[in-house]
Amino acid sequence: MAKDQKAEGGGQMSDREIIAELKTANQGLADAVVKAGKERDDTQAKVEELTLALKRIAEDRDQALAKCEELTTALMGAEKWAGAVVVADEDRELTEAELALIEAACDAYGIDEESVNSMRIEEGAAVVVTKGGSRIRYRRGDEKAKGFAPLSYVQVTGVNPNAKKRKPIAGKERK
């Protein structure tokens, strides 16, 4: 400001005035540098704090997964859990006795061969899933002990012959 006044008046600034202005400008720059340093330190502290929080979250997640696995193993039994994790031998073919057990299961529940979606032997029992979505477990002799009733047509095939004809949601009606 003193510089502007001197310029308007046509005079030059004295050395003392120049030094005073330079000191003021230098002090302003020093204050700005200190402020920027504090902001950088604050930002760096926040980053370190968030990094530590992220590490704690990862440790908690790992502990929770370990506890979940432990509880699942305890709940289901080690043998069953191991069988659920390990993929069954899908490449091996079923023996004659296993096929006979699956056929007996289909006969007991009234399931025809075309309606079988998948089948397997699990723990000595035949497990059959129908195209209708029904899953059955069958052990030889169960039909006498438990009094099985055959599955309904809808449970076996997934098609309801008594369903009302519906209007199409989109597009033209099929004929």
Q: What is the mean pLDDT of residues 50-75?
A: 84
Torsion angle defined by CA atoms of residues 100, 143, 106 and 94, in that order, rounded to the nearest 10 degrees: -30
> What is the pTM (predicted TM-score) of this model?
0.42
The reported pLDDT for the residue numbered 78 is 47
The reply to whether 6 and 57 lie within a common domain is yes
* 10 lies in some domain: yes
The answer to whether 130 and 152 have CB atoms below 8 angstroms apart is no
The reply to whether 114 and 60 lie within a common domain is no
The reported pLDDT for the residue numbered 92 is 65
For residue range 117-156, what is the model confidence (pLDDT) as tens digits? 888 888 888 888 888 888 888 888 776 666 677 888 888 8
* 127 lies in some domain: yes
CB atoms within 10 A of CB 115: 20
CA 132, distance to chain mean position in Å, is 28
The reply to whether 151 and 100 lie within a common domain is yes
The reported pLDDT for the residue numbered 21 is 87
* Domain that residue 127 falls in: 96-157
Q: What percent of the chain has pLDDT over 90?
A: 3
How many independent structural domains does the chain possess? 2
* 138 lies in some domain: yes
For residue range 10-32, what is the model confidence (pLDDT) as tens digits? 568 888 888 888 888 888 888 88
* 69 lies in some domain: no
Please, what is the average pLDDT of the chain? 77
